[in-house]
Amino acid sequence: MSSRLLALALALAPLACQIPPATGEPPAEVSYTEKRAPCADRSGLRHLYFGDLHSHTRLSWDAYGYDTRATPAEALAFARGAGAVRLGPLGADGRGTREVRLERPLDFAAISDHAEFVGETLLCTTPGSAAYDRYPCVAFRQGGDKAVTPWGTRLIQPDGNERDLDLCGAGAADCKAAAGSGWSELRAAVEAADDKSAACRFTAFPAYEYTATPSVTNLHRNVIFRNAVVPPLPITYYEQPKPHALHAELARQCLDAGTGCDALVIPHNANWSNGTLFPAEMPGATLEEQRAAAALRARLEPVGEFMQHKGDSECSNGFGDPSEAACGFEKLRSPPFEDCGEGSGYGGVKDLGCLSRRDFLRGVLLHGLVAEPRLGLNVYRLGVIGSTDTHNGTPGLVEEKGFQGHVGFVDDTALKRLGDGTTTHSGLPANNPGGLAAVWAIERSRDAIFEAIRRRETYSTSGPRIEVRFFGGYRYSAGLCASDDLVPAGYRGGVPMGGVLEPRPAGVGAPRFLLEARSDQGAPGKRGMPLQAAQIIKGWVGADGKGRFKVFEVAGDSKNGASVDAACAPIGAGADRLCAEWQDPEFDPALRAFYYARVIENPSCRWTTWDCASLPAASRPAICDTLPRTVQERALTSPIWYAP
């Protein structure tokens, strides 16, 4: 900052603290991009909505290969509680042999089928198609790994790959035409499910998954569109094998096309990426090229998916920091492991290679602070969501008890789910039921929920519907936890989760934070678990330019001794509500920082415990004697950032 600008800032700073607090609640305004009725139930103080933005149906080649036959329309009906889905294995009639329904409907959902191979899948499974009798299709219809692996290996080439012309025909015309048919089917199902009346019962988004897996590392992203105006075909790994090229093409075909198209891109499974999903820099690019790519990435990627059925990606022990029990939650890999350091590796999709701090939320957020001076912006100012990544066409199916698996006939029985073939390097069976995306939005419409995700007023849960509010600011009076004014005051005096604190007024000390959490109230006749503790995690960049973090427990007691008995009934005290008014005791106004909240339930039985108990003692696999009995479900908020 120049001396003139610094002098001006110092002169204006005293005026900032003379500004009286704002009054009233935020306006209940939504910028509609499509013709619809405003929702009758709307609020400037925001409503809480739960959804799943990551699920697969029969249009995904791997889901189909493992006997998933649910269509996008059936999956969306399942998500809104209006229909059942039949799961593999298939019976003699070609239908699934297990039926499931969603006990608690979602508020919103997206079907994010792998865009790669949609055309190939339809060609190979539609009798009479141009490719139905060609060898690749005959092999694909055998199902299982014989179907899934050969196609999946086409996605691991470092620079993308060409389509299989033996299957797709000259110029891949047959596959592209079939992909267009699948894209049309998905869009039609989404428009039929999305409620544009004033009742706003359910919201559905057009979406797809971009499935780049170079060198067996995970660069996957879900592309979520705001409305029905979308590109004619999804932009896939075939067309754009580099994520920054995907961003540029989405900007060209959608955001900057002047058609009304708008999109968000949600990276997921950093825990599989060997440090590549959130890279430290772009090798071979000039600083100006890196800054341009960072600006576009920040524009398109406001949130990341850090909880799903392939594990939690908040934090991990094993990087030399003090061990933290909460960082052992649902990990695919436990220490010891190779640390990528500032570099990256390969093989993560197979749980191989090194792990990077940037494979976890804390490391990503810290790197954003560290790189900000060089790039001129914080490219990793990321919010947080969760989802399932189910490959069964069952968005939102996240209950631990009665977990049916997420991968067709691969994990359709308790013995298969507990079997050696699904065990990771951590010693735990690989999958968990997955998470949910929680969004504070003005109303239950596409535009309102999309806007809330873009401003990062979001959080993730590992399945339960825990309610969390998190605010930060300089204008909060004491006693708000005991006041009905907490939420209005939170907006009046500061910013909600996902926000950036206003410039610190002169003469004011550390920012204050308000954190309120309420336990999941459960389904009818089924009570949710009490809350154990609420924590605020601070990350900052020290004067030496290195990132650091610290955990502050601000409400409840993580050592309350709660547990479960032999029948999985809860034991011990917990809370229906936790609330804290907290001020950072170690605040340094010269250092960039972020703060996010983590709310943890009392222990409850993990799905593996229920599965082991469902088997006769003589049939239980040996792993049942070594698995942890309990899990501590949780919510994780988007951060609030402080900049000097």
Residues 455 and 471 in one domain: no
Q: Helix (H, G, I), strand (E, B), or coil: what is residue 242?
A: coil
Residues 406 and 491 in one domain: no
Please report, for the chain, how many H helices and E strands are present, in that order.
15, 26
| Beta strand spans in 255-397 (E) | 263-267, 303-308, 311-312, 383-386
Helix axes 173-193, 72-79, angle to 10 degrees: 30
pLDDT digits (tens, 9 = 90+) for 447-468: 999 999 999 999 999 999 999 9
The band of 634, judged by pLDDT with boundaries at 50, 70 and 90, is very high
Domain that holds residue 131: 42-463
pTM of the full predicted structure?
A: 0.95
Residues 453 and 480 in one domain: no
pLDDT of residue 525: 82
Q: Is there a domain that residue 6 lies in?
A: no
State which of 378-382, 503-507, 541-545 shows the largest mean pLDDT: 378-382
Residues 567 and 425 in one domain: no
pLDDT of residue 11: 35
Residues 536 and 583 in one domain: yes
Residues 431 and 578 in one domain: no
Query: How many C-beta atoms lie closer than 10 Å to residue 317's C-beta?
Result: 17
Q: Is there a domain that residue 249 lies in?
A: yes
Taking alpha carbons only, the member of 113, 115, 599, 104 closest to residue 384 is: 599
Q: Helix (H, G, I), strand (E, B), or coil: what is residue 417?
A: helix
Buried b (16+ CB within 10 A) or exposed e, 363-400: bbbbbbbbbbeebeebbbbbbbbbbbbbbbbbbbbbbb
Distance between CA atoms of 193 and 108, rounded to whole angstroms? 10
| Last residue of one domain, picked from the residues 436, 463, 490 | 463
What's the number of domains the chain is made of?
2
pLDDT of residue 16: 31
| Last residue of one domain, picked from the residues 409, 444, 463 | 463
Taking alpha carbons only, the member of 459, 460, 397, 400 closest to residue 104 is: 397
Distances (CA, A) of 629 to 162, 309, 623: 47, 18, 11
Q: Is there a domain that residue 34 lies in?
A: no
Residues 212 and 148 in one domain: yes
**Length reported for the chain:** 644
pLDDT of residue 73: 98
Cis before 570 (ω within 30): no
Residues 479 and 391 in one domain: no
Residues 362 and 393 in one domain: yes
Using alpha carbons only, give the angle 91, 97, 100 rounded to the nearest 5 degrees: 155
Distance between CA atoms of 434 and 412, rounded to whole angstroms? 16
Residue of 337 and 524 predicted with greater confidence: 337
The band of 5, judged by pLDDT with boundaries at 50, 70 and 90, is very low
Which CATH number characterizes residue 297's domain?
A: 3.20.20.140
Residues 108 and 139 in one domain: yes
pLDDT digits (tens, 9 = 90+) for 565-582: 999 999 999 999 999 999
Does 328 have pLDDT greater than 80?
A: yes
Residues 315 and 409 in one domain: yes
Q: Is there a domain that residue 7 lies in?
A: no
pLDDT digits (tens, 9 = 90+) for 288-323: 999 999 999 999 999 999 999 999 999 999 999 999
- Least reliable range by pLDDT among 11-25, 188-202, 534-548: 11-25
How does strand 203-205 pair with strand 108-110?
Answer: parallel
Does 278 have pLDDT greater than 60?
A: yes
- Cβ atoms of 399 and 103 within 8 Å: the answer is yes
Tokens describing residue 34: 């499509």
| Beta strand spans in 501-624 (E) | 512-518, 531-541, 547-556, 563-564, 570-571, 577-583, 593-601, 604-605
Does 369 have pLDDT greater than 80?
A: yes
pLDDT of residue 422: 62
Q: Is there a domain that residue 479 lies in?
A: yes
Tokens describing residue 150: 């050969």
- Cβ atoms of 494 and 476 within 8 Å: the answer is yes
- Cβ atoms of 274 and 356 within 8 Å: the answer is yes
Q: Using the structure block, give the residue that is written with the tokens 């005959």.
A: 138
What backbone torsions phi and psi does residue 426 show, to the nearest 5 degrees?
-80, -10
Q: Using the structure block, give the residue that is written with the tokens 């209006």.
A: 82
β-bridge mates for residue 547, sequence order: 541
Distance between CA atoms of 457 and 640, rounded to whole angstroms? 10
What backbone torsions phi and psi does residue 316 show, to the nearest 5 degrees?
-150, 140
Q: Is there a domain that residue 454 lies in?
A: yes
| Last residue of one domain, picked from the residues 447, 463, 479 | 463
Does 66 have pLDDT greater than 80?
A: yes
What average pLDDT is seen over the chain? 93
pLDDT of residue 160: 58
Residues 334 and 345 in one domain: yes
Q: Is there a domain that residue 261 lies in?
A: yes
pLDDT digits (tens, 9 = 90+) for 164-177: 888 999 999 999 99
pLDDT of residue 21: 45
How does strand 96-100 pair with strand 108-110?
Answer: unpaired
Question: Chain-centre distance of CA 435, in angstroms?
Answer: 8
Q: Is there a domain that residue 133 lies in?
A: yes
